[in-house]
Amino acid sequence: MSFPSSSSPRSYPPEVYDGEGEASAWIRPSDTPPDLTYASGGTCEYLVTGERSRGNLGVYRWTFGEGETGPDPHFHRTMSEHFYVLRGTVRLYDGRAWVSAGVGDYLYVPEGGIHGFKGSDHAQMLLSFTPGGPREDYFEALASGRSMTEEERAEFMLRHDNHWV
């Protein structure tokens, strides 16, 4: 069997592991309680953090509460973001319009891509970032409900690579 050749073959990134293999995989059981619960009733589960993945990615299971919540259009300069709908309907902003996404729909947002998301009725999605930055601090600060001055909020958003449009 022959495979089609490409005029510009792609290669894998440089190796980061030079051992002979190791038992380093881990499982997060499905019955693990959420890491965060928001005032809206929504939850966030840390499936893999940027720290745990050595900065490679962060993956979170996001469950919305009853009422609609989610960020307005924004972009990130340092990371791409990925959305995969697991349950219900999530409204995703793709930089041009709000689109209703259902189970199995996926949205990829490269660095600089304008996006947003809104959900309700306990819809659920996987949310991931590459590379994996310290998003947990961002999620935890928002879940705490602590009040911020306009200046504090602007600094907080910039520190977490959120640029509003």
With tokens 């996006």, the residue in question is: 115
Q: Are 62 and 153 in contact (CB under 8 A)?
A: no
Report pLDDT for 3: 59
Using CA atoms of 44, 45, 48, 52 in order, give the dihedral in degrees to the nearest 10: 90
pLDDT digits (tens, 9 = 90+) for 48-99: 999 999 999 999 999 999 999 999 999 999 999 999 999 999 999 999 999 9
Query: pLDDT tens across 85-95, in order?
Result: 999 999 999 99
Rg (CA), the chain: 18
For residue 125, tell me if it sits in a domain.
Answer: yes
DSSP state of 28: -
- 158 domain-assigned: yes
- pLDDT at res. 9: 78
Residue 81 domain-assigned (yes or no):
yes
Considering the domain boundaries, does residue 30 fall inside one? Answer: no
Query: Structurally, how many domains does the chain consist of?
Result: 1
CATH code of the domain covering residue 100:
2.60.120.10
In a domain, 15, yes or no: no
Count of Cβ atoms closer than 10 Å to residue 110 Cβ: 11
